[in-house]
Structure 1
Amino acid sequence: MAIMIKSPGEIEKMRHSGRLLRQVHDYIAPYVVAGASTMDLELAAMRKIDEFKAIAAFKGYHGFPAALCTSLNEEVVHGMPNEKRVLKDGDILSIDCGLIVDGFYSDAAVTYAIGKPTPAVRKLLDVTKASLEQAIQEAQVGGRLGDISAAVQEMCEAEGFGVVKEFVGHGIGKNMHEDPQVPNYGPRGKGPRLKAGMVLAIEPMINLGKPEVRVLADGWTAVTVDGSYSAHFEHTVAITDKGPQVLTR
C-alpha cells in the first residue's frame, strides 16, 4: 500500500481547495428547500465553481455526469442530479462535492433534512455527523487507521444504525482516490500507522435500517436494500504533528 505523504506546502494547497469547496457547500445550502429540484442545486454549485475558476472533481470522473452527487432518502451515495427529483417536506438529501484547485483535490459531503424530519431520522443525521467528528479526533500521529474506522462503527451501531461496508473513505491529494481505503467499520489497533502528512477523506455512510446496499441500473446510484433512509457526512482531513486538521471545515 503506497500512502502518499504530503508536504506542508501541499497541505496548504489542499486547505485552499477545501476552503473553496466549503464556500460551494455554503452557497448551495439555501437552495436545499422543498420545491427545489436536485438539478437546481447542481446549477447553483456550478455557478460558484465557475466563479472560483475551479474544476468540478466529480464531473466526468469515470463518466459521472455532474458536479454534485445528490442522494435522496434511501439513496446512500452517487445519486445524480435530475430536474424531476423535486425535494419535499420530510426528505433528506446528501450533497457530496469535490473540487480540483491548483492540482489538488478536496472532498466533502453534508446531509440535509428538508422541512421537519421524524425523530428517528433526526437522530440518524445527528449520530452520523457526530461519528464523523469522533473519527476525526482519532486521526492522530502514531494511531492506527482502524481507530478511525472503529470510532464510526462503535458510535453508530450502538444506536442501532447500519454501517455501510460496500463504500468507504479514502486517501486524497493529487488524485481523488488514493491509498489507503478508510472503512467505517473494523477493529481498533489495526491497519497502517498514521503519519504526519497523510490526508484522508473520512466519510461515514450510515443507514437507518440494515447496512446492505445495492447499485441501481444506472450503474451509479447506491440505495439501501431495505428502503431505509441513509445519511452521509464527509470531511477532508490532514494528519499533522499538531493533531488532525479539517481542510474542508
Structure 2
Amino acid sequence: MAAVATRKCTGLDCAKDAGTLQCPTCLKMGTDSFFCSQECFKRSWTDHKTIHKKSNILTNLFPPKVVSEPDPATGHFNPFPSFNFAGSLRPVYPLSSTRTIPKTIPYPDYARDGIPRSEQKLFGQHSIKILNKEEQEGMRVVCRLAREVLDIAGRALQPGVTTDYIDELVHKACIERESYPSPLNYMHFPKSVCTSVNETICHGIPDQRPLEDGDIVNIDVTLYHKGFHGDINETYYVGDKALANKEAVRVVETARECLDKSIELVKPGMLFRDPGNVIEKHAKSQNCSVVKTYCGHGINQLFHCAPNVPHYGKNKAVGTAKPGMCFTIEPMINIGTHRDRTWPDDWTSTTADGALSAQFEHTLLVTEDGVEVLTARFPDSPGGPVPMPGTE
C-alpha cells in the first residue's frame, strides 16, 4: 500500500506538513481535510467546522443519488452512478462482509478502530530507524511470507475470477501464516489486499467484478507478522488478450523495469531523492509518465514511516540511505497523463484520463555494501517479465 505524498496541514494559520490525521466529520461527508496533529485540529475546530455547515446546506438542497438499482439477477450495483469515471472500470457492489482474524494472531494498533496511532506520533519527523540484527531478521521473515501470499494470489488470476475472491485467498493465506493482513482497517480500508485493475493506479478495493480476458491487475499484499510489516506488489496480465495488447505490455514492463533500475542505486550513501530521477528518465524513454501523488515509504514495526521515496525526478526527498534502513520503492507508471483522481470510496485512485497504469514494489534492506531485496521473487513465482513491444 503506497504512502501518500506530503500534504500541507489545513489547520488555522498552520504551514506544517500534514500526516494522515483527518477530521472525522469530513471523512463521513466524503471530503478531505488533513492535520499535522490533534492539537492543531483542536485549535482550528471553531473555524474548520463552518465547512461542515456549508456542505450540509448544499447536500440538503441537492441530495446526491447514492447507489444505482441492484441488478435483479445478481444483486450487484454501482454505488456511485453519478460519479464522472475517467475510464470504463466501475465498482461492483455490495462488498462482502468484513473478514475476521483469530484473536490468537497479534494485531497492529489500528486493527480495531482504523487509527495508526504509533505512526501519528512520528508525523513531521524525518529520523529514519536503523534496524538491529534481530529486527532485520524479523523483516526477512515477514517479507518471505508476503512473497508466498502474493504468489498464491497471482496463481489464481484468470478471466472470471473476482477481486473479492483474491481478497479471500489473501486473507486465508495470511491467517495460515499466523499473520494479520496489514491493509485491513488501516485508515478504515475495508479489505485485506489492494487490487488495482486497468486504469486504477493503486488502493483498489476488491469487489464483485469478474476479471476479464485483457485486464491487467496489480495485487498489493502486506503482512504483519510478529511485530513487523512486509510489503510487496506486482502487476499481472489476465488472459491472452492482455499479452497481445501492446499498450498493456508497454506500461507493465516499463513499471517493472523502473523498479529494477531504481533498486540498482540502493546502497549506503544513496540520497532518497535519487531513485525518482532514474525512474522518470526510464518511464519517459518508453513514452510513459510517473504518478507523483504516492511514494515509497519506510517500513518496519510501522506500516508507513520515514523515509518518503518519491518516484519522479527533481524531487526534494530528505535523507540518505544507511545500513539497517528498510523501505519500499513502488513506482506507479501510466500510459497517459501522470495525474490521478480518487473515487468517492476515498481509496481507489485512477488515472485522470482513464488510460492504463501499472505498479511494482519491493521491500528493501540497505546492507553494508548494497541492498537486500527482502521480497524477491522465488524461482517458481507466477508472472514475470515478457518482451517489451517496440515504441512508436
Please tell me the TM-score bracket, short chain as reference.
over 0.9
Task: Tell me, yes or no, if the aligned pair for 1:36 and 1:86 is still in contact at 8 Å.
Answer: yes
Instruction: Determine the structure 2 residue equivalent to 1:45.
Output: 170
Amino acid at match of 2:254: V
Q: How many residues align?
A: 248
- Return the index of the structure with the highest Cα Rg: 2
Shift in Å, 1:143: 1.7
Matches within 5 A, 1:149-188: 149-187=276-314
The one of 229, 239, 257 aligned to 1:105: 229
Asked if the contact 1:161/1:207 (under 8 Å) is kept, the reply is yes
User: In the alignment, which residue of structure 1 is the partner of 2:23?
Assistant: none
Q: Give the CA deviation at 1:18.
A: 0.2
1:44-86, Cα deviation, whole Å (9 max, x unpaired)? 1112111111011000101001111011111111110112x11
How far has the Cα of 1:20 moved from its partner? Answer: 0.3
Q: Which has the higher contact order (CA 8 A, sep 6+)?
A: 1
- Three-state SS of the structure 1 residue aligned to 2:346 is coil
Whichever residue aligns with residue 355 of structure 2, its letter is: S
Per-residue deviation at 1:90? 0.8
Match of 2:275 among 148, 158, 177: 148
Post-superposition offset of 1:12: 1.0
Partner of 1:27: 152
Structure 1 residue 134: Cα displacement: 0.9
> What is the deviation of 1:137?
1.1
Alignment of 1:120-139 (within 5 A): 120-139=247-266
Partner in structure 2 of residue 89 of structure 1: 213
Greater strand content: 1
In 2, the alpha carbon distance for the partners of 1:130 and 1:236 equals 16
CA separation of 1:162/1:188 partners in 2, compared to 1, >3 Å: closer, same or farther?
A: closer
**Once structures 1 and 2 are overlaid, which stretch shifts more, 114-123 or 90-99?**
114-123
Q: Partner letter of residue 157 of structure 2?
A: V
- AA at the equivalent of 2:265: E
Shift of the 168–189 alpha-carbon distance from structure 1 to 2, 3 Å rule, reads: closer
The aligned counterpart of 2:8 is none
Question: Take 1:187 and 1:11, find their aligned partners in 2: how far apart are those partners?
Answer: 31
1:68 alignment partner, one of 165, 171, 193: 193
Alignment check: 8 A CA contact 1:109 1:232 kept: yes
Pairwise CA distance, 1:242? 3.0
Can you list the C-alpha shifts for 1:100-146, whole angstroms capped at 9, x where unaligned? 11101110111111113211210111111011011111111112112
CA distance in 1, matches of 2:186, 2:277: 30
Gaps of 5+ in 1: none
Identity fraction in percent: 35
Contact 1:132 1:234 in 2 (8 A): yes
1:171-212 Cα offsets, whole Å, 9 max, x none, are 111101011111001239974221111111110001111100
CA distance in 2, matches of 1:233, 1:35: 24
Counterparts of 2:315 and 2:185, CA distance in 1: 36
Q: Secondary structure at the match of 1:145?
A: coil
Residue of 73, 77, 84 corresponding to 2:202? 77
Partners of 1:95 and 1:47 in 2: CA distance: 15
> Which residue in the other structure is 2:137 paired with?
12
Residues 18-63 of structure 1 show CA distances to partners (whole Å, capped at 9, x for unaligned) of: 0000000111112111000001101111121111110110001010
AA of the residue aligned to 2:165: D
Long gaps (5+) in structure 2: 1-125, 377-392
Moved segments of 4+, more than 6 Å: none
C-alpha contact 2:223 2:230 (8 A) present in aligned 1: yes
> Alignment partner of 2:294: what SS?
coil
Distance 1:142 1:169 in 2: 18
Q: Aligned AA for 2:330?
A: E
- Using the alignment, how far apart are the partners of 2:316 and 2:328 within structure 1? 20
Question: How large is the RMSD of aligned CA atoms in angstroms?
Answer: 1.3
Equivalent position SS for 1:168:
strand
Matched residue, 2:87: none
* 1:207 aligned partner: 334
Residue matched to 1:54: 179
Conservation of the 8 A alpha-carbon contact between 2:233 and 2:359: yes
Deviation of 1:8 after TM superposition, in Å, equals 2.2
